[in-house]
């Protein structure tokens, strides 16, 4: 694999940014592999993803620090940087449905993604055997009336001990408190089993059945304090008909949820996603 | 083409309906070409579409009347019947956007559908030349404050004079009153430029842009008094990204609207659509 | 779940078949749940899938035998019958790629399909641990020069001992001999990693890359002696661009292969697929 | 609309190209609106599409000439340049099927594309009235035995008189000779009614029906001397089943052909397509 640096930049547009970024890399002996940019003309915000091979002798971490300094101080941009050698740590949060759980774990185990799974947090015991069969730590923390604060505190302390860099809600059926989200310190990706904003909230497949829609969908998004309102990373749909009852929609939906969540996670891990306001820029 | 009768039946489920319908046709010397059925188990309603060739000597109209009598009186079902020789009369209602208008007219003119267009009703003058170029009558009835009742009365009387059997709202931007819908006496199909129930109401592409969705959609539905809530006949979506502003969504949406509306109208004209409650059964 | 009988019939078209089948079921106290039919007008072959609840007191096996007798002798049709209580035995044949293997096993284990897996046959050892971790027998039979006949004989005898009713080639990279196919005694479903008939044969993703196609596909089909020419059950595609090299196509293709193969197997297990000549009828 | 220059560059990769291009634009007072690049690592060819606003006082033509000189002489790249004010001249070549013809003309007339249609060439008279109704010149040149050379000479001289910059074969059913292609002097885009490379040659929908595929497709490509082998610009598919005979495939295919051809033409007109070898780079 290439030994490369990937930078995601964004900030107020200004003349010559593209030239300055490309110039900096060239002057430091680097070679641009990919560069993609976007300008939100309504907000006048500039976005860029640029990936480059630094000069052979150059330490990746040093290159990345120097570039971050340049982007922040000389360009006034926000910047996020990843290195080709990074293997971010993921935590999975699950409840009862296990299809996304297996799908994600098998992708990581097969080497499809450059990441490792720190463990699995659940409010149910059902996936313990599967998780441990995969060699993963399983932290079972059930909820009872009034225990939410305490459970979340334990989840947070575990996530921080592990140094988790991405939390994935793989059909986790508890709402995260705003306090949890303030303190988690890394992005949280959720899969919602509808084509948002249609059918937000509970039992979306039953809602879809009642409404008689001809397509059902799934939506992967970053979690924010506004339930089901976070920035959308990926969506897809599949066709249904009058022949499909709620159980059929649930079954068809499972395949959709796996695909949509895995695409969103892949792009996040490839450092292709920038969220701003309530939207995302996803560089393909 | 086959000389055939197409019946759409629905009503409370009961044992042996399929056998009775098939038996009636067989006893009268007919030959079933297609038969499709559906049972809504939650509501216990049975639906069937059956198409058959009557015996060669048999008059189509007589066969159809006899079957309607049997289905209503012996089976207690509601029934709608079409003959292969029918060419239903369509009225188009339009405002400013003309893409669906051209698409529908060209399909009828090319013989793709077995139908004829009685004329075009509009609250704007913009499509008069195109309509008249196609040899179609163009009835221009503008709205002014307080004129809705009067305009709708003229529309209704024109529709009834012509014997119109299907009204298509091809991006018609006025809401039809419940009084109009009570009196129109034939189905009305609308194309909504979003994936309902997302983004009902005005300016759906702008809403979609604001929400940052990754797919946009279009929905064809029968019009009921509940705006944007009528039974859905067909929906489809297309992929968009952060690169697409509202104008791009509108442009991409036009192709989607044409396709979705044309598929809904085709199935309606082929007598494949039954609506009940707030849903449709669409026999493929 | 319903206690039901599902019959797949086909044979030369004749007047009144639909009425006779529905009549037989009604006379024996059964209630039709679904009935779907198709007429290939070019070949004049009639196809039907009918599913019904027999009378409560009636033994499913007896009903099924009686119907088979009626369909064969009175109607002159070929017939295949399944009961809602059946759990067909599946064998998986695999080589090195394990994504379809995991996908299929997890679907069976989760109860998504009404089937059981008898075991896994492979010409490589790589999936032994995974298979045994799932509690499945793993039969490793490597090929060496001149050993094909002998290996296939062992495979066949294992399949017959187990009473296997469906063989799935889940990215099995050996060609089955015509002798094997003559003797296997049950259907064999394969997943080909291209949109057949494009890119038959080896390395289809590399062929697709060379040709510069904008969509790649996967095809599930029954295996016949004509390699990659068997009756197609299901196909699907996904979009690619100039940015995707052969490795990207392989990665994207994996998700497609899993989906397409699982849809084909689901429909086969639901007794929805009839193959005739080089085609299939798939009742949805 | 923006007053902008769009350059498409390609050539052997070399260090610092991105920086040099961005630097040149910045030094001349321009502001980059979009920049997209691609590196074919197997062939080591670099591709870029860059769009920028020149300094307000600067003449677009002068800017474009200066950039072309820089790209060719300083960078050693091949370059193609378009200006936002350009309205390329299109010729349509048609035979009997008129769906793509109407679709393309209506898009141009509605202002969806920044182009004008010089006229319509046909070997049949059937679309004369429609074309003239749209105000377009119609050049009818029928083929008879041995007349191909002569007809093509007339076509070429008409195309050159008009200064045509893009020829679209909108279901034109004659093969263009290699001599015609050598001399036409502008790109030629064709729509093939199959998912190439499947079903090249004649009657692709009949071939698809015979093979029993579950999806049919359409392919828009640049025309080269190798029939149906030119660089693919766009493809798409739609689902079919055993219920669809050749006539249904033809009807479903028409919608696909219109969409796929229009998307390819749109991207070509937006100067987003580079062809090299037997492939295209399509910048989205």
Q: Closest approach of chain C CAs to the CA of D131, in angstroms?
A: 32
- Band the pLDDT of A211: cuts 50, 70, 90: very high
Query: What was the pLDDT predicted at A151?
Result: 97
Model pLDDT for residues A182-192, shown as the tens digit of each residue: 999 999 999 99
Model pLDDT for residues A212-240, shown as the tens digit of each residue: 999 999 999 999 998 889 999 999 999 99
Residues B265 and B168 in one domain: yes
Q: Kindly write down the DSSP assignment for every residue of A235-270, as one continuous string.
A: EEEEE--TT--HHHHHHHHHHHHHHHHHHHHHHHHT
Please give the distance of CA A137 from its chain centroid, rounded to a whole number.
21
The answer to whether the CB atoms of B241 and A284 lie below 8 A apart is: yes
Task: Encode burial over B209-242: b for 16+ CB neighbours within 10 A, e otherwise.
Answer: bebbbbbbbbbbbbbbeeebebbbbbbbbeebeb
Query: What was the pLDDT predicted at D181?
Result: 97
Q: Does B125 touch chain D (CB under 8 A)?
A: no
Q: Closest approach of chain A CAs to the CA of C201, in angstroms?
A: 25
CB A191 within 8 A of CB A231: no
The answer to whether the CB atoms of D112 and B259 lie below 8 A apart is: no
Residue closest to C129 by CA, chosen among C118, C120, C142: C120
Query: What was the pLDDT predicted at B227?
Result: 84
Residues D57 and D164 in one domain: no
Query: What was the pLDDT predicted at D201?
Result: 85
Q: Does D36 touch chain B (CB under 8 A)?
A: no
Residue D17 has pLDDT above 80, yes or no: yes
Q: Closest approach of chain A CAs to the CA of C61, in angstroms?
A: 27
State whether the Cα torsion D153-D158-D163-D166 is positive or negative.
Answer: negative
- Gap between the Cα atoms of C120 and C122, Å rounded: 7
Model pLDDT for residues B245-284, shown as the tens digit of each residue: 999 999 999 999 999 999 999 999 999 999 998 999 999 8
Residues D96 and D75 in one domain: no
CB pairs under 8 A between C and D: 85
Tell me the pairing of strands B89-94 and B166-169. parallel
The answer to whether the CB atoms of A18 and D39 lie below 8 A apart is: no
Give the pair of three-digit tokens for residue D235.
Answer: 């493809």
Longest dimension (CA), chain B: 63
Q: Does A125 touch chain C (CB under 8 A)?
A: no
Q: Does A199 touch chain B (CB under 8 A)?
A: yes
Please give the distance of CA B257 from its chain centroid, rounded to a whole number.
14
Give the pair of three-digit tokens for residue D197.
Answer: 């490379």
- Gap between the Cα atoms of A12 and A45, Å rounded: 5
Query: What was the pLDDT predicted at A16?
Result: 87
- Band the pLDDT of C52: cuts 50, 70, 90: very high
Model pLDDT for residues D235-267, shown as the tens digit of each residue: 999 999 999 999 999 999 999 999 999 999 999
Residues B270 and B186 in one domain: yes
Q: Does B112 touch chain D (CB under 8 A)?
A: yes
Residue B183 has pLDDT above 70, yes or no: yes
Residues B263 and B227 in one domain: yes
Query: What was the pLDDT predicted at A192?
Result: 95
Q: Which domain holds residue C22?
A: 5-83
The structure's pTM equals 0.95
- Band the pLDDT of A253: cuts 50, 70, 90: very high
Query: What was the pLDDT predicted at C92?
Result: 98
% of chain C exceeding 70 in pLDDT: 100
Q: Kindly write down the DSSP assignment for every residue of C87-138, as one continuous string.
A: --EEEEEE-S--HHHHHHHHHHHTTSSS-EEEEEEESSSTTHHHHHHTT--E
Which of D61, D83, D105 is the endpoint of a domain?
D83
CB contact set of B205 (below 8 Å; sequence gap of 6+):
B193, B194, B216, B246, B249, B250, B253
CB contact set of C36 (below 8 Å; sequence gap of 6+):
B36, C48, C49, C50, C283, C284
Residue B162 has pLDDT above 70, yes or no: yes
- Band the pLDDT of B107: cuts 50, 70, 90: very high
Residue B162 vs residues A76, B88, B158: alpha-carbon distances, Å: 68, 11, 6
Model pLDDT for residues A83-106, shown as the tens digit of each residue: 999 999 999 999 999 999 999 999
Residues B21 and B134 in one domain: no
% of chain D exceeding 90 in pLDDT: 87
What does pLDDT average to over chain B?
95
- Gap between the Cα atoms of A251 and A249, Å rounded: 5
- Gap between the Cα atoms of C126 and C54, Å rounded: 47
Query: What was the pLDDT predicted at C2?
Result: 72
Q: What mean pLDDT do residues C62-66 have?
A: 95
Residues D96 and D64 in one domain: no
Output phi, psi for B244, to 5 deg: -95, 120
- Band the pLDDT of B238: cuts 50, 70, 90: very high
* Closest in A106, A112, A255 to C259, CB measured: A255
Give the pair of three-digit tokens for residue B203.
Answer: 């300016």
% of chain A exceeding 70 in pLDDT: 100
- Band the pLDDT of B33: cuts 50, 70, 90: confident
Domain CATH code at residue A67: 3.30.70.260
Question: Which residue of chain B has the CA closest to A246?
Answer: B42
Model pLDDT for residues C104-154, shown as the tens digit of each residue: 999 999 999 999 999 999 999 999 999 999 999 999 999 999 999 999 999
ipTM over 0.95: no
What does pLDDT average to over chain D?
95
CB B117 within 8 A of CB B105: yes
The answer to whether the CB atoms of A215 and B195 lie below 8 A apart is: yes
Model pLDDT for residues B54-98, shown as the tens digit of each residue: 999 999 999 999 999 999 999 999 999 999 999 999 999 999 999
Residues B207 and B68 in one domain: no
The answer to whether the CB atoms of B39 and C26 lie below 8 A apart is: no
Residue closest to D280 by CA, chosen among D10, D64, D33: D10
% of chain B exceeding 70 in pLDDT: 100
Residues B204 and B165 in one domain: yes
Q: Does A259 touch chain C (CB under 8 A)?
A: yes
Query: What was the pLDDT predicted at A273?
Result: 97
Which of D48, D83, D118 is the endpoint of a domain?
D83
Model pLDDT for residues D112-144, shown as the tens digit of each residue: 999 999 999 999 999 999 999 999 999 999 999
Query: What was the pLDDT predicted at C227?
Result: 83
Which of B54, B83, B112 is the endpoint of a domain?
B83
- Gap between the Cα atoms of B167 and B164, Å rounded: 7
Model pLDDT for residues A22-59, shown as the tens digit of each residue: 999 999 999 888 889 998 888 899 999 999 999 999 99
CB contact set of D222 (below 8 Å; sequence gap of 6+):
D187, D188, D189, D190, D230, D231, D233, D275, D280
Q: What mean pLDDT do residues A250-265 have?
A: 97
Query: What was the pLDDT predicted at A284?
Result: 85
Strands across the sheet containing C166-169: C138-140, C116-122, C89-94, C166-169, C188-192, C215-222, C232-239
- Gap between the Cα atoms of B273 and D264, Å rounded: 34
Catalytic (active-site) positions of B: 228
Residues A111 and A37 in one domain: no
Q: Which of C228, C236, C275, C284 is catalytic?
A: C228
Residues C73 and C97 in one domain: no
Q: Closest approach of chain B CAs to the CA of D109, in angstroms?
A: 11
Q: Does C215 touch chain B (CB under 8 A)?
A: no
The answer to whether the CB atoms of C25 and B19 lie below 8 A apart is: yes
Residue D198 vs residues A23, C204, D218: alpha-carbon distances, Å: 46, 13, 10
Query: What was the pLDDT predicted at D4?
Result: 94
Query: What was the pLDDT predicted at D9?
Result: 96
- Band the pLDDT of C73: cuts 50, 70, 90: very high
Domain CATH code at residue B113: 3.40.50.170
Q: Closest approach of chain A CAs to the CA of D89, in angstroms?
A: 30
Residues of chain D positioned with their CB less than 8 A from the CB of C47: 242
CB pairs under 8 A between B and D: 23
Query: What was the pLDDT predicted at C26?
Result: 93
Question: Which residue of chain A has the CA closest to D53?
Answer: A15
Q: Which of A36, A179, A228, A236 is catalytic?
A: A228
Please give the distance of CA D256 from its chain centroid, rounded to a whole number.
17
Residues C65 and C112 in one domain: no
Element containing residue D93 per DSSP (H, E): strand D89-94
Looking at chain B, which runs of residues are DSSP E strands? 5-12, 31-40, 45-53, 78-83, 89-94, 116-122, 138-140, 166-169, 188-192, 215-222, 232-239, 273-276, 279-282
CB contact set of B184 (below 8 Å; sequence gap of 6+):
B156, B159, B167, B176
Residue B67 vs residues A128, B5, B36, B54, B85: alpha-carbon distances, Å: 61, 10, 17, 11, 17
Q: Does C66 touch chain B (CB under 8 A)?
A: no
Model pLDDT for residues C163-220, shown as the tens digit of each residue: 999 999 999 999 999 999 999 999 999 999 999 899 988 899 999 999 999 999 999 9
Q: Closest approach of chain A CAs to the CA of B227, in angstroms?
A: 14
Catalytic (active-site) positions of D: 228
Q: What mean pLDDT do residues A65-78 have?
A: 97
Please give the distance of CA D59 from its chain centroid, rounded to a whole number.
28
Question: Which residue of chain D has the CA closest to B107?
Answer: D99
Q: Does D40 touch chain C (CB under 8 A)?
A: yes
What's the structural domain count of chain D? Answer: 2
């Amino acid at each position: 694999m290439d030994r490369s640096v990937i930078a995601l930049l964004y900030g107020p547009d200004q003349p010559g940014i593209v030239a300055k970024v490309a110039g900096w890399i060239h002057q430091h002996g680097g070679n641009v592999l990919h560069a993609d940019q976007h300008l939100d003309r309504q907000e006048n915000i500039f976005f860029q993803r640029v990936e480059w091979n630094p000069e052979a002798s150059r330490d990746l971490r040093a290159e990345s620090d120097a570039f971050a300094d340049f982007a922040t101080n000389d360009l006034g941009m926000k910047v996020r940087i990843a290195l080709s050698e990074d293997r971010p740590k993921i935590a999975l949060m699950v409840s009862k449905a296990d299809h996304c759980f297996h799908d994600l774990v098998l992708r990581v185990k097969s080497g499809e993604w450059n990441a490792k799974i720190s463990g699995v947090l659940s409010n149910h015991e059902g996936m313990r055997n599967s998780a441990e069969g995969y060699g993963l730590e399983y932290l079972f923390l059930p909820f009872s009336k009034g225990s939410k604060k305490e459970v979340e505190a334990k989840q947070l302390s575990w996530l921080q001990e592990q140094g988790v860099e991405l939390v994935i809600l793989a059909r986790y059926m508890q709402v995260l408190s705003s306090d949890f989200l303030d303190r988690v310190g890394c992005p949280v990706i959720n899969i919602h089993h509808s084509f948002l904003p249609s059918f937000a909230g509970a039992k979306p497949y039953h809602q879809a059945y009642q409404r008689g829609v001809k397509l059902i969908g799934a939506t992967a998004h970053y979690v924010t304090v506004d339930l089901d309102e976070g920035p959308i990373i990926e969506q897809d749909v599949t066709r249904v008909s009058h022949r499909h009852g709620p159980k059929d929609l649930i079954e068809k939906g499972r395949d959709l949820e796996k695909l949509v969540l895995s695409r969103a996670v892949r792009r996040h891990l490839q450092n292709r996603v920038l969220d701003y306001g309530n939207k995302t820029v996803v560089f393909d």
